């Protein structure tokens, strides 16, 4: 079958690979009908999520049809239309039973302390071959798969595989409550879902910071208030918009590949000096491109985190869902502590939120297809990766009908 395969930093290819097969009684095999490209996939190619094993199929979002099930899979049968949760979870350990599916004790073969197991990730996460392929093996299928209601299209369901639950989880981590003023840093697909989720959870006002006008315009269509960091200083603007107080809640949907402003007052008032960001960049992507061109490592890895702390009201709360790899250890701890700010972070517990979000999509409470801006054929996926990596206007979320 055809699949997108990771070979080394800066090198992914559309390869011919072996068809997946049942390896454990808890497995299922699905035929992928829709996949997608995520910003997290770019971390793998840029090298800001280290430890990838050459030959790994990438991708962690899919909708498909069940073709075969293992002997222990009772709730699914061939022909069922399903969405795949991006994180793999056994469903029976104490963490899964408590809803912390991303911290499953069993799914990651590296051991109970290894952390999240997800599709198409580095060695530390399994690895499990990913979902940008014609077919895929789904471990612990009874938990990792969720049946898609007839009223939900494939394009809607693919958004519930990862980005919508992750945005929703960001609002949960930030403790969004009715009446709150919320700041979302990053207006990519997850950031847009975080805006929608903050509103679903009762936020009365949402401010969004990004540097790409088309993304900010999409946030405006959600009635969020856009701030372009290439034109304004986002911290100063947020304080001005909130009467000098700051926001109640912040959602960091950027992570380690943050980029410095290219112009404007924010470029002149960066929270740390150039040397600090250069050192962070080398730490974030030691084998990646830190100069110019394709697959460029973000040149200000802690900028979103630093802006989050400074734009927050005293005793505010920050939810971090942007990717920061385990090897990255820089954070403005002193500023956070001095202002009594609570920070919560983590990988999304997808299985906890997918069923409820599918129901909300089916009811029409939210339509995440508004954030899908590109559709590409599987044979064009590498070109799509390269364009998405360059952060070009109009490339927010790309789906791949198979």
Residue labelled with tokens 């909300």: 360
Backbone angles phi, psi at 80, to 5 degrees: -70, 135
Residue 183: beta bridge partners? 207, 250
Which sign does the torsion angle of CA 149, 153, 154, 158 carry?
negative
Residues 129-139 pLDDT 10s: 999 999 999 99
Residues 350-398 pLDDT 10s: 999 999 999 999 999 999 999 999 999 998 999 999 999 998 888 999 9
Q: How would you write the pLDDT of the chain (402 residues) with one tens digit per residue?
A: 999 999 999 999 999 999 999 999 999 999 999 999 999 999 999 999 999 999 999 999 999 999 999 999 999 999 999 999 999 999 999 999 999 999 999 999 999 999 999 999 999 999 899 999 999 999 999 999 999 999 999 999 999 999 999 999 999 999 999 999 999 999 999 999 999 999 999 999 999 999 999 999 999 999 999 999 999 999 999 999 999 999 999 999 999 999 999 999 999 999 999 999 999 999 999 989 998 899 999 999 999 999 999 999 999 999 999 999 988 999 999 999 999 999 999 999 999 999 999 999 999 999 999 999 999 999 899 999 999 999 888 899 999 998
d(CA 63, CA 61): 7
């Amino acid at each position: 079958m055809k699949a997108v395969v990771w070979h080394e930093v800066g090198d992914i290819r559309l390869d011919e690979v072996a068809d997946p097969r049942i390896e454990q009684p808890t497995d299922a095999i699905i035929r992928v009908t829709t996949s997608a490209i995520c910003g997290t996939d770019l971390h793998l190619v840029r090298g800001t999520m280290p430890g990838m094993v050459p030959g790994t199929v990438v991708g962690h979002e899919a909708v498909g049809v069940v073709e075969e099930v293992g002997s222990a899979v009772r709730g699914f049968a061939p022909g069922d239309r399903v969405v795949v949760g991006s994180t793999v979870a056994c469903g029976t350990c104490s963490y899964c039973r408590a809803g912390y599916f991303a911290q499953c004790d069993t799914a990651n073969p590296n051991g109970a302390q290894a952390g999240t197991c997800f599709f198409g990730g580095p060695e530390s996460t399994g690895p499990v071959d990913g979902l940008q392929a014609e077919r895929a093996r789904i471990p612990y299928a009874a938990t990792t798969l969720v049946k898609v209601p007839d009223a939900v299209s494939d394009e809607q369901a693919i958004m519930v595989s990862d980005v919508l639950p992750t945005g929703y989880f960001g609002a949960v981590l930030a403790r969004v409550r009715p009446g709150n003023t919320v700041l979302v840093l990053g207006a990519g697909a997850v950031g847009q879902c975080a805006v929608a989720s903050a509103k679903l959870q009762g936020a009365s006002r949402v401010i969004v910071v990004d540097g790409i006008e088309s993304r900010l315009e999409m946030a405006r269509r959600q009635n969020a208030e856009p701030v372009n960091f290439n034109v304004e200083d986002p911290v100063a603007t947020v304080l001005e918009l909130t009467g000098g107080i700051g926001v109640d809640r912040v959602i960091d949907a950027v992570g380690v590949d943050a980029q410095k402003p290219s112009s404007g007052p924010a470029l002149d008032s960066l929270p740390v000096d150039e040397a600090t960001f250069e050192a962070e960049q080398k730490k974030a992507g030691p084998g990646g491109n830190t100069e110019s061109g394709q697959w460029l490592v973000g040149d200000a890895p802690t900028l979103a985190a630093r802006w989050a702390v400074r734009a927050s009201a005293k005793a505010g709360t920050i939810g971090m869902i942007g990717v920061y790899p385990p090897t990255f250890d820089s954070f403005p701890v002193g500023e956070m502590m001095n202002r009594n700010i609570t920070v919560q972070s983590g990988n999304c517990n997808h299985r906890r939120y997918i069923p409820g979000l599918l129901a909300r999509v089916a009811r029409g409470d939210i339509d995440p297809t508004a954030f899908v801006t590109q559709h590409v054929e599987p044979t064009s996926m590498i070109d799509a990766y390269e364009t998405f990596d360059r952060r070009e206007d109009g490339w927010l979320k790309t789906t791949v009908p198979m």
